Amino acid sequence: MSSQGLLEGTYGTRMGMTEDTLSLLDRNRGSAELWDMAETKPSMEALERSVPGLYLSCFDMLLTEETTWLVKVSEAPPTLPVPMARMEPQEEPEQCPVIDSQEQGLSPGLEGQEEERSLEQVQSMVVGEVLKDIETACKLLNITPDPIEWSTGNVQKWLLWTEHLYRLPHAGKAFQELTGKDLCAMSEEEFRHRSPQCGDTLHAHLDIWKSAAWMKERCSVGETKTAGNEELWSEADSSCSGQPIHLWQFLRELLLKPHSYGRCIRWLNKEKGIFKIEDSAHVARLWGLRKNRPAMNYDKLSRSIRQYYKKGIIRKPDVSQRLVYQFVHPV
DNA sequence: GACAGGATGTG
DNA sequence: CACATCCTGTC
């Protein structure tokens, strides 16, 4: 089968598939209460924990529950729930011997591992494609990937785009005068209230955008891209020790991973503990992300660093330079 | 924009 | 207590 044929087949079945997979996503609304909480109080503490879980479980469901479905419709390859049908032609059904052998019950011992590995591959590919498609949409619409930053105009653009992509009835009016922040704080319930026909669908799509923005922030420095999934979660090392992370610990963490963060913070003299913040805005954004402080900036971060002067944790080096600090007790 | 540090509020 | 936020002022 030619990729042309695949494309057509995909396109033809897109609507049905989309609805199916979206309703799947909807069943995963376990975290909905958390969003509701965020609505009453914009402290989005629960967000950090809920989003990655939601994100992973979304694709988890796609990749587990739907596996048989994925295999069986190999004549008419499936679409994924997000605008990423374009990736399909690259993945011809003939290219999946693993899944085929599974269908025929071959080598049951290898099956599990092989399946797991191929699922992982598919998963990271899916994540990558989602991010890519969001990026494309952003360029096209001239909006930022993070919904929280959207103006009312941006929200309308996104609505038009999503409606167009999924042939949804126009619901822009129901969401007029809402900013991205408003939208992000809304529960699925409210979405449906404003648009009974497609509120849930829109809410599900917004969730994906939110998760993608979250992911992107986590690995935006460097070209970690999709491959760095494992590294992303192991990054929680010092923060999972229980207590909330301190700023100086966080800075140490970043300095420990020059591969990921070397562009925004690096050692000038590791032995003496002297480091330089190369991209103040970016470091501040990462700190804000870690602490769930969207309004964090370098002005505030540096004020916190200055509090360390008195405590003897961080100081200015003997020859004071812009954006250069020194740990008083280097490791 | 970086930097210094006071004042005040918060979980 | 460890910031987060805001602010005045200097370089």
In a domain? residue A110: no
Q: What range defines the domain where residue A160 resides?
A: 122-217
Residue A179 lies in a domain: yes
Task: Tell whether A209 and A257 lie within a shared domain.
Answer: no
Looking at per-residue pLDDT, the higher value among A100 and A326 belongs to A326
Q: Tens digits of per-residue pLDDT, A173-186?
A: 889 888 888 898 88
The answer to whether A296 CB is within 7 Å of strand C is yes
* Residues forming a β-bridge with A327: A314
Q: Is the CB of A136 under 7 A from strand B?
A: no
Q: How far apart are CA A229 and CA A128, in angstroms?
A: 11
**What is the structure's pLDDT at A289?**
86
Query: Would you say the C-beta of A323 is within 7 Å of strand B?
Result: yes
Hey, which of A109-113, A205-209, A211-215, A295-299 has the most confident mean pLDDT? A295-299
Query: Tell me, what CATH number does A209's domain have?
Result: 1.10.150.50
**Cβ(A63)–Cβ(A44) below 8 Å:** no
My answer on whether A259 and A306 are in the same domain is yes
At residue A309, does pLDDT exceed 70? yes
Cα Rg for chain A, rounded, in angstroms?
23
More confident residue, A237 or A270: A270
Indicate the number of domains in chain A.
2
For the ranges A7-21, A74-88, A208-222, which has the lowest average pLDDT? A7-21
Residue A234: the pLDDT is 37
Judged against a pLDDT cut of 50, whether residue A72 lies above it is answered with: no
Q: Identify the pLDDT of residue A93.
A: 40
- Amino acid (one-letter) located at A134: I
Please check whether residues A192 and A257 belong to one and the same domain. no
- The set of residues, in sequence order, having a beta carbon less than 8 Å from that of A4 and lying 6+ positions away, is A89
The nucleotide whose C1' lies nearest the CA of A320 is B3
The pLDDT tens digits of the residues spanning A137-152 come to: 776 777 888 888 888 8
Q: What is the pTM of this model?
A: 0.39
Q: Give whole-number Cα distances, A219 to A122, A131, A224, A226, A283, in Å.
A: 19, 12, 6, 9, 13
Q: Are residues A143 and A212 in the same domain?
A: yes
**C1' (B6) to CA (A326) span, angstroms:** 24
Q: Check if residue A298 sits with its Cβ under 7 angstroms from strand B.
A: yes
Give the C-alpha separation, A203 to A187, whole Å.
8
